[in-house]
Amino acid sequence: MTQEFPDPIGRPVEDAAQLAGVPDHFQRLWTPHRMAYVNDHTQPGQDDCPFCAAPRLSDEEALIVHRGEHAFVLLNLYPYNSGHLLACPYRHVSLLDEATDDEAIEITRLARTAMRVLREVSHPDGFNLGINQGAVAGAGIAAHLHQHVVPRWNGDANFFPIIAQTKALPYLLGQTRQDIADAWRKY
């Protein structure tokens, strides 16, 4: 069964109420272009890993907001939301259970501080925190462990990324990095 209104490029849209399982009355938006990421099983080695290269650059070039003893925090170059941070160990390790206790503890501490800093700088309504372990779990760079700290605001989800392949980010990455780095010094 198709919906009365076609999708933006004129194709019929499936009626979600007719799909297998419990009907939830949501329409589905398919993103077949994402299959390139699903099928790409290549992962950077230590020589071409962006998380290994970042600490060798200036904070501004690498978008680093804080350097710790065993780990550092930088802005995600492809953020889900403004202020999307990543806590990474310096060491090229892929899984949390491969991290040393010192690395794992510092990553957790940095994620907690990131939440405090982001609350001060941008006043989010909540956060998504996560570590995707392995490419199959959604890790874009599965070869180097990193924890996401994503600030969330009521109403921040929209269809721009799916329909227009566009992210609506109100601040430039450089300014966001500077604001977060400045606020981080208080913690």
Q: Are 13 and 3 in contact (CB under 8 A)?
A: yes
DSSP strands (E only) in 16-84: 64-67, 71-75
Catalytic residue among 66, 84, 146, 148: 146
Q: How many CB atoms lie within 10 A of CB 180?
A: 23
Structure tokens at 73: 């925090």
66 is catalytic: no
Alpha-carbon distance 41 to 160, whole Å? Answer: 27
Alpha-carbon distance 51 to 143, whole Å? Answer: 10
Q: Which residues are catalytic?
A: 146
